[in-house]
């Protein structure tokens, strides 16, 4: 008997260039949403933040602490909604 493991997708755009990466990230987001897989579209979470607040530094464009916190909160809410966490 197989185990059922829930799938959650987090899609990170190019944080310094949200609009430039939208063509690629929208395809991924739509693919999973069409299949009813929960998706965190990070672009939606950070679109109102200035680029400098989305990244670690101009030399290090990985997600900032704030972005990681927003993603963690979004995932936590999804886990609650799915019944994984009560």
Strands 60-63, 55-57: pairing kind: antiparallel
Give tens-digit pLDDT for 73-85: 999 999 999 988 8
Q: How far is the C-alpha of 21 from the C-alpha of 33, rounded, in Å?
A: 18
| pTM score | 0.90
- Percent of residues in the chain assigned helix, strand, coil, to nearest 5: 50, 15, 35
Residue 37's closest CA among 7, 67, 62?
A: 7
Give tens-digit pLDDT for 17-56: 999 999 999 999 999 999 999 999 999 999 999 999 999 9
């Amino acid at each position: 008997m197989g185990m059922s493991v829930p799938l959650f997708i987090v899609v990170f755009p190019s944080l310094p260039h949200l609009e430039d990466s939208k063509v690629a990230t929208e395809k991924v987001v739509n693919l999973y949403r069409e299949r009813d897989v929960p998706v965190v579209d990070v672009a939606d979470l950070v679109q109102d933040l200035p680029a400098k607040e989305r990244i670690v530094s101009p030399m290090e464009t990985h997600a900032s602490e704030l972005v990681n916190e927003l993603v963690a909160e979004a995932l936590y809410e999804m886990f609650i909604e799915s019944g994984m966490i009560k």
